[in-house]
Amino acid sequence: MSTSDKSSRAVRESRHGACLLATLALLGGCAVGPDFHRPGAPEADRYTVAPLPAATVVADGQAQRFASGAVLPADWWQLFKSAPLDAVVRQAIANNPTLQASEASLTQSQHNLRAGYGVFFPQAGLEADAVRERAAPAGLKTTPTVFNLITLSGTISYALDLFGGERRTVEGLQAQTNYQRYLMYAAYMSLSANVVNTSVARAAYRAEVAATEQLIALQKQQLHSTEVQVEAGTTAYSDVISLRSLIAANEAALAPLKQRISQTEDLLATLEGVVPAKATLPDIDLRELSLPLDLPLSLPSDLVRQRPDILASEMQLHAASANVGVATAAMFPSISLGATYGAAGPRLNALSAASGQFWSIGPSATIPIFQGGRLWYGRKAAIDAYQAAQANYRQTVLDAFAQVADSLQALEHDAQALQAQAQAQSAAGEALKLLQVNYRAGLVAYVEVWAADVQFHQASIGYVQALAQRYQDTVALFVALGGGWWNASQVADSREAP
């Protein structure tokens, strides 16, 4: 065969290879495995069994109203209208290591996704070899030869994703990226809630300490008055002993309260990303916090599209669905196209010689025939994982709806408890004042004043605890509704749209 005939044949073969490439590329529109569909929201028009009232009962002169469908701001803690509280939260968001780790994990997953997209592009590479070789003799009478061999070649290949295995893999990477994104939103929401709750607890403990110290100061005044009466012979010395015992008991109660204050301050320092010794925390007075009166309440159908934990669980379900497609595609043939062109010779200047040039082009196919059940049961395992992800998603949704219901009911009960505690504190204070006047007039025994002291102290502490619980359950509702992160992202999207 002449050189021209060989060249013509090579051209025809290359044309046939190009036609085959185009045909197989057209066949690459099919992806095996299930197409993911977002789960629907539960068929419920409210969160609680009984219809939710429009507002809670009036407690301490305030009633909280539920605004169905209203917008929950991303910086919901500003609804408490406390500049020191806002500063603490923003400091934590800026420096918290857990949130920073979550952001880094999101960036990592985004880079993994971009790396995964590389499979859709042709892969090209260059290879260069330079060796000095001593060829083994073919027979005893053949003299070994020593020669140089320099090879320079380039390859290009493209994997035909006929059954969508690579597309399902990238789909899973996309789901993992979204999963990390929602975990970051969840970390942001959890961090802000922990900061606010810890700040409220710290303010409540400080209020309890102040109430206890105020009561101790009052009791010391009573002790001085009682000692004067004992010296005058109008009161038994046992009243002095009882009063000193009561003062000592109240002073002993200060130690655990101050320890709790220290613990909350250490926790706030940790949340802010600093060591406790370097923390600078503003003083927050519990009574200076404004109770949010208009509470945004998302519709049940919107909750599954807003809570980060539900969306993260949905992305895990999406990734499991994509893995089923990957395992299914592995059971089908894989086809790739490749081409190589290069030259070889004993010296660099000999690489341009026609005799040392070589090339190849054509498809290659890998067809699984027998894998000992590995591919079959691998697909079964992927389906099992998908079913487990479905069950986990349903459980996450149920837990979310239960948390919203618990928060709504807690706010109603908190209002009732606070109202009762406010009335108890007021009544105990009036009774104590009356008994103190009667005791100084010698009309009642000190044991009655002692009992009134204890009752007023307990009522004061109970009021502070009920007030703090009302604040914290308000925070719990904001968190149960998802924290409003989607409103912050909408603002960012609108700014970045141009």
Q: What is the pLDDT of residues 232-286, one digit of tens each?
A: 887 788 888 888 888 898 899 899 999 999 999 999 999 999 999 988 899 999 9
pTM: predicted TM-score of the whole model, two decimal places: 0.83
- The top-scoring range by mean pLDDT among 10-14, 161-165, 253-257, 398-402 is 398-402
**Residue 6 clears pLDDT 60, i.e. is over it:** no
Give pLDDT, residue 139. 61
CA angle in degrees (0–180, nearest 5) for 269-274-279: 55
Angle formed by the axes of helices 165-232 and 237-271, nearest 10°: 160
Reported CATH class of domain 38-123+165-342+374-496: mainly alpha
Q: How confident is the model at residue 71 (pLDDT cuts 50, 70, 90)?
A: confident
Question: What mean pLDDT value characterizes the chain?
Answer: 87
Buried-state track 232-259, b at ≥16 Cβ within 10 A, e below 16: eeebeeebbebbeebbeebeebeeebee
Q: Where are the beta strands (DSSP E) in 280-375?
A: 294-297, 334-345, 357-366
Q: Output 382 or 443, whichever has higher pLDDT.
A: 382
Q: Please check whether residue 71 is in contact with residue 296, taking contact to mean a CB–CB distance below 8 angstroms.
A: yes
Give pLDDT, residue 28. 47
- The top-scoring range by mean pLDDT among 61-65, 229-233, 345-349 is 61-65
**Residue 494 clears pLDDT 70, i.e. is over it:** no
pLDDT digits 0-9 by tens, 326-340: 999 999 999 999 999
- The top-scoring range by mean pLDDT among 60-64, 70-74, 181-185 is 181-185
Q: Position 155: which residue type?
A: T
Q: Is the dihedral of CA 62, 68, 70, 75 positive or negative?
A: positive
Give pLDDT, residue 142. 66
Q: Position 121: which residue type?
A: F
Residues 52 and 2: their CA atoms lie apart, in Å, by 93
Q: Output 324 or 32, whichever has higher pLDDT.
A: 324
CA diameter of the chain: 140
Q: Output 496 or 131, whichever has higher pLDDT.
A: 131
